[in-house]
Amino acid sequence: MTPVYPSLTRALAEALVDVLWFIEGSEDEQMDPDDAVKVLEGVGHVVGTLPDNQRQELLELVAEMTAAETDPSRRAFLEEFSEGFGLTEDAS
């Protein structure tokens, strides 16, 4: 069954997390490690520079996704997502 998302933002957040979770868990044979680091750092830069309202919206979406996640390894990834990708760093 195809999931129904309440908003485009939620759908894109889910897709972003899926891609990042795949990259983070990839073996060297699946993805070049240097390319993986570039992608992860690029995403970290983008989400780390979001305006406060967008950062808060993404934090809330990740929290909702974490609460609903039943896969223990994906849940652990989601629990570390905010800090790992610069969403909870002090912006001052």
Q: What is the pLDDT of residue 17?
A: 93
What ranges do the domains of the chain cover?
Answer: 17-22+35-84
70 three-class SS: coil
Note the pLDDT tens digit of each residue in 5-28.
888 999 999 999 999 999 988 888
Note the pLDDT tens digit of each residue in 79-91.
999 888 878 755 4
- pTM: predicted TM-score of the whole model, two decimal places: 0.81
Note the pLDDT tens digit of each residue in 34-91.
999 999 999 989 988 999 999 999 999 999 999 999 999 999 999 999 888 878 755 4
Closest CA to 84 of 24, 22, 30, 6: 24
